[in-house]
Amino acid sequence: MCFERFYESWVDNLHRLIHQLTTAYTRNTAAAAEQPNPNQNPSQETHLLQLINSVMTHYTEYYRVKSIAANNNVLSVFSAPWISSLERSLRWIGGWRPTTVFHLIYTESSIHFESRIDDILRGHSTGDLGDLTPTQLRRVSDLQCETVREENEINEELAEWQDSVSDMMKTLMEMESMANTTTGTTASSNDGGDFIDGKIGRLAGVLERADDLRLRTVRRVVDLLTPQQTVEFLIAAAELQFGVRGWGVNHDRQRGNADH
Instruction: Report residue 201's pLDDT band, with 50, 70 and 90 as the boundaries.
Output: confident
Distance CA 27, CA 6 (A): 32
Question: Which whole number is the average pLDDT over 221-225?
Answer: 97
In the chain, the percentage of residues whose pLDDT exceeds 70 is 79
Mean pLDDT of 171-198: 62
Q: Which domain holds residue 219?
A: 3-259
Q: What pLDDT does residue 204 have?
A: 94
Average pLDDT on 167-183 reads 66
Q: Would you state the pLDDT for residue 29?
A: 80
Distant-in-sequence, close-in-space partners of 179: CB < 8 Å, separation ≥ 6: 185, 186, 187, 188, 191
Query: Confidence band (pLDDT; 50, 70, 90) for 165?
Result: confident
Task: Give the number of domains in the chain.
Answer: 1
∠ at Cα 3 (74, 222), nearest 5°?
90
Across the range 40-62, mean pLDDT stands at 90
Which residues contact residue 187 at a Cβ distance below 8 angstroms, ignoring those fewer than 6 apart? 179
pLDDT of residue 33: 65
Does pLDDT of 97 surpass 80? yes
Q: How far is CA 58 from the centre of its chain?
A: 12
More confident residue, 41 or 85: 85
Distance from C-alpha of 22 to C-alpha of 186, rounded to nearest angstrom: 60
Q: Note the pLDDT of residue 152.
A: 98
DSSP letter assigned to residue 41: -
For residues 66-75, give the mean pLDDT. 96
Residue 93 pLDDT exceeds 60: yes
Q: Is the pLDDT of residue 9 over 90?
A: yes
